[in-house]
Every structure is written in structure tokens, then in C-alpha cells.
Amino acid sequence: MVRIVGGSNTEELAGKVSEILGGAVIGKSVKKFPDGESYIRLEDTGFEGEKVYVIQTLFPDQNESLIELFMTINAVKENGGIPVAVIPYFAYGRQDMVFEKGEAFSLKVIASILKALGTEMVITVDAHFHRKGGDHDMFGLHVKNISAVKKLRNHFGNGFTVVGPDEGSRNFLSPLEGSVFLKKTKKIKETNNQLHYKINVESKDVKGGSVLLMDDIISGGGTIISAAKALKEQGKKVSVACVHGLFMGDSLKKLSKYADEIVSTDTIKSPCSVVSVADLIAREISE
Ligand code: R5P
């Protein structure tokens, strides 16, 4: 029987994965002490030498989720299990290098801690860091980056031109053929740590009346809103799809002005998370 532990913010997805694999999620108590410190206790500990899959996404509450993940991995290890971290949305993945001298290398910090805790491997979905699917070595940690792109695309019918909002979405969209990529021509301003771009769209690049605009992450929404607006101004029917819908602030409301529909997966739970990645994760676990 496959052993699965869910994270507090990933209970539903962990339940779905477990159901597909015919198991039950191991019970876990998560408490907060009055001073804010976390406490975790697994309700089943009889997994000597077995793999235990800890399914914990890292949004919302990235930092809280990380502590919960680290402590759960430790609890598995302390009880003789072999911890595998299943991280549907891998927060801090965008700080996948030191861009400016003096910055912390966030992704390296997280990978190093997971490795030090004895994590056997990480399974994640469309993580931004490697920008490519498949198996990777991340600072000595084995990471399997699975793609939800085809599943997300298949949610929509035929007759769409798939569009990436910028050149950076090329690797993410590489499982699909014939995608068109828009160009971020220049950075126009930065407010509240959010960049706003002017997107230059040449109509010859985007054929057809219906567009499926796809990105890996929608966070502040600046990238996708600019792209959707430009396409809408060309008279297109614009459907938007992303794997990880963080939808910060009023981004969903703003995006709705230009998008006819907005769909995300359940790596992060939101009103748009109608495409489940549970079967993709279950397949990876059972391989
Ligand atoms: C960037 O490289 C990513 O693929 C996304 O386009 C970006 O993270 C989206 O961020 P935001 O929604 O804040 O524009």
C-alpha cells in the first residue's frame, strides 16, 4: 500500500492521489503553540524501510508550509520511513540563481535543507527552476519535474491558437507544438515589487480568432494581464490557463476584464483550479 501524508494546505489533492492509488492518507496533527511555533505528529509510524510520500504544496503561506514540510519529512525519517517530497507548487523556484551580488540563493537553501533531512527525491509539477521537464540533480537532490501542460491544454477543445505571454514561456510550453510567443518589449514600471510590461503583439504572429494564453505561474498577474489585454484589443476570444494560480491582490478581477475564461490546476487551490494534477502525481508515484 502506498503511504501518503498530506500538508495542511494540500489535503484535498493528497486525498485524490491516495484515492487513485487505493490507499488512505496517514493522519497528522498540526498545531501551533501560543508563541507561534509549529508542532507536528504523525498518527501512524509503522513504515520501517517504506517510502512515504509527503504531498505538500508551498502556497499559500510559503514559509509556514516549508516548516510543515521539513518537520513532516523529519517525522517520517525519525520513524524509519524513506521520505519522498511531493511539492505540487515549488515556491521560491524563481530565485533559481543569484541574479544580483549579495542575494540569498533561495532555491539552494530549500534544496539543501530537504537533502540534509534525508529526502530521497522530490516530485514537483512545472517547477520554474529548471524550466524543463524530467529528472534533474538539484544540489545533490534528485528532482522529477512533471508537466501538466498537455492535460491543461486538453481541458480546452480544438480551434485555439496556444500563445505564451513571453519568450520565457518557451520551455514550459515545449510539450505542445505550434505555440506562438509574444514579446515583452520593455519594462515600463515597477510598483510594490511588481513589474508591469508593455507587450508588443504583432497580429501576423497570432492566427485565428480564439487564443489560449498559457503560462506556468500567474502571481501578481502583470505578465498575463498585459498579454490578454493586447490580444483582446485585437478582437480575439481569450482563454487563459496556468498551472499555478497564485492570483495575488485583485489580479483575477483585472484579468477577467480581458479573459473570457480563466483556468488553473489544483497545485494551488483557487476558484479557477478545475484541472486536477492528481492523476499525474499518482502515475509518477506508482512508477
Ligand atoms: C516568469 O518567468 C513566469 O513564467 C511568469 O510569467 C511570472 O512568474 C508571472 O508573474 P506575474 O503574474 O507576477 O507577472
What is the 247 CA–ligand 1 centroid distance (Å)? 11
At residue 132, the pLDDT reads 66
**Pocket of ligand 1 contains residue 219 by CB under 6 Å:** yes
Q: How far apart are CA 37 and CA 49, in angstroms?
A: 30
Mean pLDDT, 10 residues at a time, the chain of 287 residues = 96 98 94 97 93 98 98 97 98 93 96 98 91 83 96 96 92 93 75 72 80 96 92 95 98 98 98 98 95
Residue nearest (by alpha carbon) to ligand 1 atom 13: 220
Residue nearest (by alpha carbon) to ligand 1 atom 9: 218
What is the 143 CA–ligand 1 centroid distance (Å)? 22
User: Phi/psi at 243 (nearest 5 deg)?
Assistant: -80, -50
184 is known as an active-site residue: yes
- DSSP-assigned letter for residue 49: T
C-alpha distance from residue 181 to each of 67, 73, 172, 227 (Å): 38, 40, 12, 10
Residue bearing cell 491544454: 153
**Pocket of ligand 1 contains residue 223 by CB under 6 Å:** yes
At residue 187, the pLDDT reads 66
**Pocket of ligand 1 contains residue 221 by CB under 6 Å:** yes
What is the 26 CA–ligand 1 centroid distance (Å)? 35
> Which residues, listed in sequence order, are joined to residue 125 by a DSSP beta bridge?
146
Ligand 1 atom nearest to 222, measured from its CA: 14
The torsion of the CA quartet 172, 174, 177, 181, rounded to 10 degrees, works out to 50
User: Phi/psi at 218 (nearest 5 deg)?
Assistant: -115, 115
Number of H helices, E strands in the chain: 7, 17
